């Protein structure tokens, strides 16, 4: 039995699996980490830590399933996006990578938008945009900026370590590629005196980067000569693993963060959403900053030390108060659809009678309200509703949350059989690249199956429409307060409990 090594570098863990050509996972492991260096608006991690995770995952699979490990035919890695690895001319990282949460480029983004003027990419520049982060690097760390040779995404860095070749795909590099396109007399890169050479060679996700090179640490030395496929970001791969990589489908990936989008036949734009050419399919939507991680936050806040999923299910089994709570899930600022790192979360409507069960429902419904905002904007731009939402990620195991999403969004929510759609998507890439399927569509048809379908309940529509309207009003009312609180954090004064603060009342 032949298998491929499929890997998914997530925000909080590294998953790897050996998957056969029928899409069945024969062996799998998850390695937690790496720990991010987070503080206020900073979030970074050494790319070398990802390489260590890949080595550990491969070693575990090789020890647990040595015969299967010996029958690997190819390798495909997907991974988190909106994270930049800065390499020097010697191929070494110049500094820790800036993760998807890093918001230090906000001021640089403001100046960059003014500098770019009417360039088509100017309106997309925000604190999470790669060009804004390059502008921040130029201002904050000029020596490293001037030593810059190449910008990679996380999975590209791992492919580079495996093969020695620096390459990426057009989806993961879409925003930098757009900056390299001429508009008028120059490209957006010229604003920072950069050339398009910072962008690596672009390949289709199922194209071969190169064979695994010799001399790697065990057990990767046993994979020498095997093809490594370019892969794509974790969202693209998970959408393929859900069978939603086709026109007219919507998807929702709920892992550490939340991603929702729709796929259409032509390019359209919507406020706050990302439009990207996914190789003949046009994607509209993108990553929000807050997803299933909000449930983990609540579980930790309530003293849970075991399984987050089991704890949330136990909370949901309790009795709910008739008056619902509203939860704004912006615990880490927000990307899609607001691109505002200064948004903050809130519970609204608390009374003495509310308890943990009410908090749990509010968290799940708050994220679903955010899903509805993105879906409504995307469908309005497309001019028609989607038929269903393919739902994947850790949160898809929670049937209550799946039903809440269906009820609030007014669309059927469909969960695939693959517990880890990102891993299945990586396997789809590898098996297509190896020639076992004529196309990605054929691979999806053969390897993706459906586990559960949740249809909207008509009896809940009126209540959820009312709750959604209150959610929108709450957002508008509290956004200015969020901004003021974020500003206060930069100059908090002598508040009690802060390092260096006085103890006097």
- Residue pLDDT tens, the chain, 505 long: 899 999 999 988 999 999 999 999 999 999 999 999 999 899 999 999 999 999 999 999 999 999 999 999 999 999 999 999 999 999 999 999 999 999 999 999 999 999 998 889 998 999 999 999 999 999 999 999 999 999 999 999 999 999 999 999 999 999 999 999 987 667 999 999 999 999 999 999 999 999 999 999 999 999 999 999 999 999 999 999 999 999 999 999 998 788 999 999 999 999 999 999 998 899 999 999 888 889 999 999 999 888 999 999 999 999 999 999 999 999 999 999 999 989 999 999 999 999 999 999 999 999 999 999 999 999 999 999 998 999 998 899 999 999 999 999 999 999 999 999 999 999 999 999 999 999 999 999 999 999 999 999 999 999 999 999 999 999 999 999 999 998 888 887 788 887 655 444 3
| pLDDT given for residue 504 in this prediction | 42
Instruction: Find the DSSP H helices in 117-184.
Output: 130-140, 142-146, 154-163, 174-180
CATH number at residue 408: 3.30.420.40
Asked whether residue 423 is domain-assigned, the answer is no
225/255 same-domain check: no
| pLDDT given for residue 166 in this prediction | 98
| pLDDT given for residue 505 in this prediction | 39
206/323 same-domain check: no
| pLDDT given for residue 47 in this prediction | 97
Cβ-based neighbours of 142, under 8 Å, separated by 6 or more: none
The secondary structure of 167-179, three-state, reads: EECCCCCHHHHHH
26/100 same-domain check: yes
Q: Which of 182, 200, 234 is the last residue of a domain?
A: 234
- Measured between alpha carbons, how far is 141 from 138 in angstroms, rounded to an integer? 6
Range of the domain at 297: 243-417+457-490
CA angle 278/279/285 to nearest 5° reads 15
261/404 same-domain check: yes
The phi-psi region of residue 452 (left if phi > 0; otherwise alpha if psi is between -120 and 50; otherwise beta) is beta
CA neighbours closer than 13 Å in the CB half-sphere of residue 211: 10
Asked whether residue 247 is domain-assigned, the answer is yes
Asked whether residue 158 is domain-assigned, the answer is yes
> Tokens 């880490």 map to which residue?
332
Rg (alpha carbons) of the chain, rounded to whole number: 23
CA angle 412/413/414 to nearest 5° reads 115
How is residue 416 annotated by DSSP?
Answer: E
How far, rounded to the nearest angstrom, does the alpha carbon of residue 358 sit from its chain's CA centroid? 28
| pLDDT given for residue 499 in this prediction | 66
Asked whether residue 505 is domain-assigned, the answer is no
**Structure tokens, 416:** 């695939």
Q: Total domain count for the chain?
A: 2
**Structure tokens, 481:** 């307060």
Residue 477 dihedral angles phi and psi, to the nearest 5°: -70, -35
Contact 423, 28 (CB under 8 A): yes
> Tokens 């030395």 map to which residue?
221
User: pTM to 2 decimals?
Assistant: 0.89
Q: Which of 234, 257, 272 is the last residue of a domain?
A: 234
111/171 same-domain check: yes
| pLDDT given for residue 206 in this prediction | 97
């Amino acid at each position: 039995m032949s298998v491929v090594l499929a890997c998914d570098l997530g925000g909080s863990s590294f998953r790897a699996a050996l998957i056969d050509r029928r899409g069945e996972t024969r062996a799998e492991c998850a390695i937690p980490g790496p720990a991010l260096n987070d503080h206020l608006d900073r979030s970074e991690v050494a790319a070398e830590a990802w390489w260590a995770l890949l080595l550990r995952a491969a070693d575990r699979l090789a020890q647990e399933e040595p015969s299967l490990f010996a029958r690997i035919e190819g390798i495909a890695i997907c991974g988190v996006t909106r994270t930049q690895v800065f390499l020097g001319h010697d191929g070494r990282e110049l500094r820790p990578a800036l993760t998807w949460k890093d918001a230090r480029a906000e001021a640089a983004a403001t100046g960059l938008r003014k500098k770019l003027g009417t360039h088509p990419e100017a309106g997309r520049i925000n604190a999470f945009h790669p060009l804004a982060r390059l502008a921040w690097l130029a201002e904050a760390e000029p020596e490293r900026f001037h030593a810059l040779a190449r910008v990679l995404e996380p999975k590209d860095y791992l492919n580079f370590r495996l093969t020695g070749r620096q390459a990426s795909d057009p989806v993961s590099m879409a925003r930098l590629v757009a900056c390299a396109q001429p508009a008028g007399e120059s490209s957006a890169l010229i604003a920072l005196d950069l050339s398009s050479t910072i962008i690596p060679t672009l390949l289709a996700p199922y194209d071969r980067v190169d064979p695994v090179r010799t001399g790697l640490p065990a057990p990767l030395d046993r994979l020498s000569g095997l093809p490594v496929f370019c892969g794509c970001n974790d969202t693209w791969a998970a959408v393929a693993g859900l069978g939603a990589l086709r026109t007219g489908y919507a998807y929702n990936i709920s892992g550490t963060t939340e991603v929702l989008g729709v796929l259409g036949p032509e390019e359209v734009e919507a406020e706050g959403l990302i439009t990207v050419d996914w190789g003949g399919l046009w994607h509209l939507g993108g990553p929000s900053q807050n997803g299933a991680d909000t449930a983990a936050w609540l579980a930790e806040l309530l003293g849970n030390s075991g399984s987050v999923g089991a704890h949330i299910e136990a909370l949901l089994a309790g009795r709910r108060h008739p008056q619902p709570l509203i939860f704004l899930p912006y615990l880490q600022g927000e990307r899609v659809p607001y691109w505002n790192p200064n948004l903050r979360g809130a519970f609204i409507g608390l009374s003495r009678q509310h308890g943990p069960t009410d908090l749990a429902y509010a968290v799940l419904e708050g994220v679903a309200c955010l899903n509805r905002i993105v879906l409504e904007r995307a469908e309005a731009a497309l001019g028609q509703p989607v038929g269903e939402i393919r739902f994947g990620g850790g949160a898809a195991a929670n049937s209550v949350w799946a039903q809440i999403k269906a009820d609030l969004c007014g669309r059927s929510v469909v969960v695939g059989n693959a517990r880890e759609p990102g891993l299945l998507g990586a396997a789809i890439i590898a098996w297509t690249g190896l020639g076992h399927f004529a196309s990605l569509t054929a691979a999806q048809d053969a390897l993706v199956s459906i586990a559960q379908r949740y249809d909207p309940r008509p009896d809940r529509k009126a209540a959820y429409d009312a709750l959604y309207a209150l959610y929108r009003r709450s957002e508008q009312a509290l956004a200015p307060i969020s901004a003021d609180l974020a500003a206060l954090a930069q100059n908090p004064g002598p508040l009690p409990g802060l390092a260096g603060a006085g103890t006097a009342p």
